[in-house]
Amino acid sequence: MRRYGIALALVAALVAAWATTSAATTSTSAISSPKVFSLVSVTTQDLPINGFAFQRAPVAGNQFGFAETLYKWAGTKRGARVGHVLGLSTFLTVGANGGTMLTVVHAYLPGGTVLLQGIIHFPYGPTTFTLPVVGGTGIYDNVRGYVIVRNLGDGNQGKDNAEFHLLP
């Protein structure tokens, strides 16, 4: 029984040391001023989940994953490749004119990553929506902000403009 007490005391000491170290680290972002930049996002792969691959109209609960490549925005066309995106969407409601989805997106950018999560209200066809930034790593650690996503074309081309608005 004494062995367990010693182990528990050791674990408690390690947790206390970790908490003290974590509290001592800075909680500000590595970016020092607001950053706004636009990227072109091109779908590279749709990732069907549980057999749903858009072969039929979605119903609430259907999910899909996606992988996209991010490029610099060069006027009317894409520029150099700068990163990629992995995401997951779950349909919450679906109706004749559109619906809602819970979407989580992890954007891998030069210097770190940005995590986005939110509910998207979508019509069928081209759309514009905003996702809040909920976290980040590297130079985007503790960053706040949002990303405005605008479909390019008729909404079925797999290309979007992603305009990042990041705050330290």
**Predicted local confidence at residue 29, as pLDDT:** 67
Considering the domain boundaries, does residue 90 fall inside one? yes
Number of neighbours of residue 131 by Cβ within 10 angstroms: 22
Give the span between the Cα atoms of 71 and 77, in whole angstroms.
9
Say if residue 15's pLDDT is above 70: no
Q: Compute the C-alpha angle 48/53/55, nearest 5°.
A: 170
Considering the domain boundaries, does residue 142 fall inside one? yes
Which pair of tokens denotes residue 43? 């779908």
Considering the domain boundaries, does residue 21 fall inside one? no
Considering the domain boundaries, does residue 15 fall inside one? no
Give the span between the Cα atoms of 126 and 15, in whole angstroms.
49
pLDDT-derived band at 14 (thresholds 50, 70, 90) equals: very low
Give the span between the Cα atoms of 162 and 147, in whole angstroms.
6
The CATH number for 126's domain is 2.40.480.10
Say if residue 23's pLDDT is above 60: no
Q: Which residues pair with 71 in a beta bridge?
A: 40, 81
> 72-112 pLDDT, tens per residue?
987 777 899 999 999 999 999 999 889 999 999 999 999 99
Say if residue 6's pLDDT is above 50: no
Range of 4-13, 40-49, 112-121 with top mean pLDDT: 112-121
Give the span between the Cα atoms of 127 and 76, in whole angstroms.
18
Considering the domain boundaries, does residue 53 fall inside one? yes
The structure's pTM equals 0.79
Which pair of tokens denotes residue 81? 């490749």
Considering the domain boundaries, does residue 103 fall inside one? yes
Average pLDDT for the chain: 84
Range of the domain at 143: 29-167
* Percent of the chain residues topping a pLDDT of 70: 80
Considering the domain boundaries, does residue 22 fall inside one? no
pLDDT-derived band at 122 (thresholds 50, 70, 90) equals: confident
The owner of tokens 């072109």 is 40
Domains: count for the chain: 1
Which pair of tokens denotes residue 95? 């109706």
